[in-house]
């Protein structure tokens, strides 16, 4: 199913939780809503599910307007952040619940529950109660329960945030594989950029209820359109254009002057060759050795009255021969520099 979110607005009193959000989601894709706490991700997901009514705007499934259809009739599967299983029901009963509500036959329910539990590798746990499972297992049951009634769209609200790092990583892959195999249109809310970058086909970055940028993980990482997205996803040096770092113009020929530039630390290389062609020389201020990675803080000379500017450079491997106070020439490919604001 394809899904279209059209100009959704939702306020709580004076708080604008969702501010004119639009997005088209292709059939079978996984989209992540990514943004800091309080930016409106859950509210938007609840509006899509029908649990919350928008002030204005529409939700369309395969071009059909679902805005007035109650949540229970939308046939969307939902997984919440945590503790969403019925504690007094067995795992099998939890998964069966939605099917009983939909009046499936006993035989069909039994078969579907078995299929769903083996899909999430819990076929031998069906008689247990939720408190007898680990957090990761509980979230897999929640996933099985959401998928059991064959929903047209799967909505996941931070399904992994309550789990420890290792389980989270395993489940990421499991969910992604499941989603791809079932070819089910999925929205996943997260504030974890790594989760979004590894799982999503498309990412919608939000701030204060508004969409900051929508694109593929590669777009969002390599071609951020504003300082917020640039800094929210990975590390990014944000510097005034006048400091002298080379840049290409994002293919933008409008002739406006670049004002703010963004450069990823891995795109600043340090060299001992003499500076040529206006290359910048900086002084190594600080060195952090992080095992497989070395991070340098470099201060650049004051230029055009822009004050001292520091940038961070990251180099793979551990480099032992560098010392604080050493001058280094910055090697930067202009193609890797983004113009984040035009003057
Ligand atoms: N039922 C409600 N009544 C009043 N204000 C609400 C309600 N639900 C959400 N809000 C407010 O709307 C804004 C968006 O909240 P929302 O829960 O959608 O954020 P979120 O992006 O999901 O955050 P988090 O990452 O912390 O879960 C917040 O300022 C929140 O306080
Ligand atoms: Mg939330």
pLDDT in tens, 33-63: 999 999 999 999 999 999 999 999 999 999 9
Q: Is residue 320 a part of any domain in this protein?
A: yes
Q: What is the CATH number of the domain that holds 306?
A: 2.40.50.140
Q: How far is the CA of 37 from the centre of ligand 1 (A)?
A: 8
* Alpha carbon distance 275, 226 (integer Å): 30
Residue 303 neighbours by CB under 8 Å, 6+ apart: 242, 243, 244
Answer whether residue 153 is part of any domain: yes
Structure tokens at 274: 């003499």
Q: What is the mean pLDDT of the chain?
A: 91
Among protein residues, the one with the nearest Cα to ligand 1's atom 20 is 38
- Please check whether residues 158 and 252 belong to one and the same domain: no
CA dihedral sign of residues 307, 312, 313, 317: positive
Residue 82 has pLDDT above 80, yes or no: no
Average pLDDT over residues 119-136: 93
Q: Does residue 98 sit in the same domain as residue 140?
A: yes
Say if 232 falls within a structural domain. no
User: Cα dihedral sign for 56, 59, 65, 69?
Assistant: negative
Query: Which residues form the domain of 312?
Result: 237-342
Residue at 118 is within a domain: yes
120 contacts 144 by C-beta, under 8 angstroms: yes
Do 185 and 242 belong to one domain? no
Q: Are residues 127 and 176 in the same domain?
A: yes
Query: Which atom of ligand 1 lies at the shortest distance from residue 39's CA?
Result: 21
Domain end among 173, 197, 227: 227
Residues 199 and 175: beta-carbon distance below 8 Å: yes
Same domain, 209 and 246: no
Q: Higher model confidence: residue 119 or residue 22?
A: 22
CB atoms closer than 10 angstroms to residue 129: 16
253 domain residue, yes or no: yes
Q: Which tens digit of pLDDT belongs to each residue from 240-298?
A: 988 889 888 655 555 468 889 999 999 999 998 888 888 999 999 999 988 889 999 99
Q: What is the mean pLDDT of residues 201-205?
A: 98
Length of the chain measured in residues: 343
Residue 119 Cα to ligand 2 midpoint, Å, equals 27
Stretch 157-170: mean pLDDT = 87
Do residues 133 and 166 share a domain?
yes
Q: At residue 77, what are phi and psi to the nearest 5 degrees?
A: -95, 140
188-203 burial code (b ≥16 CB/10 A, e <16): bbbbbbebbbebbbbb
Got the DSSP string for 86-119?
A: -TTS-HHHHHHHHHHHTT--HHHHHHHHHHHHHH
Provide mean pLDDT across the span 3-20. 97
Query: 200 pLDDT band (50/70/90 cuts)?
Result: very high
Residues 6 or more apart whose Cβ sits within 8 Å of residue 319: 294
Same structural domain for residues 29 and 119? Answer: yes
What residue ranges line ligand 1, CB within 6 angstroms? 12, 15, 17, 35, 37-43, 191
Of 200, 227, 254, which one is at a domain's C-terminal end? 227
Q: Which ligand is nearest to the CA of 35?
A: 1
In a domain, 208, yes or no: yes
For 141-161, the pLDDT digits (tens) are: 999 999 999 999 999 999 988
Q: Which residue CA neighbors atom 16 of ligand 1 most closely? A: 40
Q: Whose CA is nearest to atom 24 of ligand 1?
A: 37
How much of the chain exceeds pLDDT 90, in percent? 72
Q: Are residues 277 and 176 in the same domain?
A: no
Q: Output the pLDDT for position 255.
A: 47
Cβ partners under 8 Å of residue 140, min gap 6: 120, 121, 122, 171, 174
Interval between CA 80 and ligand 2 midpoint (Å) = 9
Q: Which atom of ligand 1 is found nearest the CA of 43?
A: 18
Handedness of CA 148, 153, 154, 155 (dihedral sign): negative
Spacing, Cα 207 to ligand 1 middle (Å)? 12
User: How far, in Å, from the CA of 342 to the mean position of ligand 2?
Assistant: 33
pLDDT of 323? 87
- Count of structural domains, the chain: 2
> What ligand is nearest to the CA atom of residue 34?
1
60 plus 205 within the same structural domain: yes
For residue 157, being part of any structural domain is answered with yes
SS3 73: helix
Lowest mean pLDDT among 200-204, 209-213, 265-269, 277-281: 277-281
For residue 18, which of 5, 3, 29 has the smallest C-alpha distance? 5
Same domain, 278 and 188: no
Look at residues 203, 227, 251 and tell me which one is the last residue of a structural domain. 227
Same domain, yes or no, for 41 and 179?
Answer: yes
Assess whether 94 and 185 both reside in one domain.
Answer: yes
Report the DSSP beta bridge partners of residue 18.
10
CATH of the domain at 74: 3.40.50.300
For residue 191, the CA-to-ligand 2 centroid distance in Å is 9
């Amino acid at each position: 199913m394809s899904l279209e979110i059209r100009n959704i607005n939702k306020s709580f009193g004076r708080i604008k939780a969702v501010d004119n959000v639009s997005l088209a989601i292709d059939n079978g894709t996984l989209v992540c809503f990514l943004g800091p706490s309080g930016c409106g991700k859950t509210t938007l997901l609840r509006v899509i599910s029908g649990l919350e009514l928008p002030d204005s705007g529409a939700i369309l499934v395969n071009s059909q307007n679902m805005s007035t259809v109650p949540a229970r009739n939308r046939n969307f599967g939902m997984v919440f952040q945590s503790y969403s299983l019925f504690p007094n029901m067995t795992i099998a009963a939890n998964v069966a619940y939605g099917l009983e509500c939909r009046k499936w036959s006993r035989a069909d329910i039994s078969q579907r529950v078995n299929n769903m539990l083996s899909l999430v590798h819990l076929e031998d746990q069906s008689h247990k109660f939720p408190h007898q499972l680990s957090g990761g297992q509980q979230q897999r049951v929640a996933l099985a329960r959401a998928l059991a009634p064959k929903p047209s769209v799967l909505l996941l609200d931070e399904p992994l945030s309550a789990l420890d790092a290792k389980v989270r990583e395993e489940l990421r892959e499991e969910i992604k594989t499941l989603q791809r195999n079932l070819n089910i249109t999925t929205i996943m809310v997260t504030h974890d950029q790594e989760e979004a970058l590894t799982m999503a086909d498309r990412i919608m970055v939000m701030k204060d209820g508004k969409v900051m940028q929508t694109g593929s993980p590669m777009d969002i990482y390599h071609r951020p359109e504003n300082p917020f997205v640039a800094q929210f996803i990975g590390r990014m040096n944000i510097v005034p254009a006048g400091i002298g770092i080379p840049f290409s113009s994002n293919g933008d020929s409008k002739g406006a002057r670049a004002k703010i530039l963004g450069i990823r630390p891995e795109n600043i290389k340090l060299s001992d060759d003499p500076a040529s062609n206006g290359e910048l020389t900086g002084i190594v201020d600080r060195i952090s050795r992080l095992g497989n990675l070395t991070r340098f803080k470099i201060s650049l000379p004051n230029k055009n009255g822009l004050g001292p500017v520091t940038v961070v450079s990251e180099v793979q491997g551990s480099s032992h021969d560098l010392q604080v106070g050493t001058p280094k020439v910055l090697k930067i490919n202009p193609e890797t520099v983004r113009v984040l604001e035009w003057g």
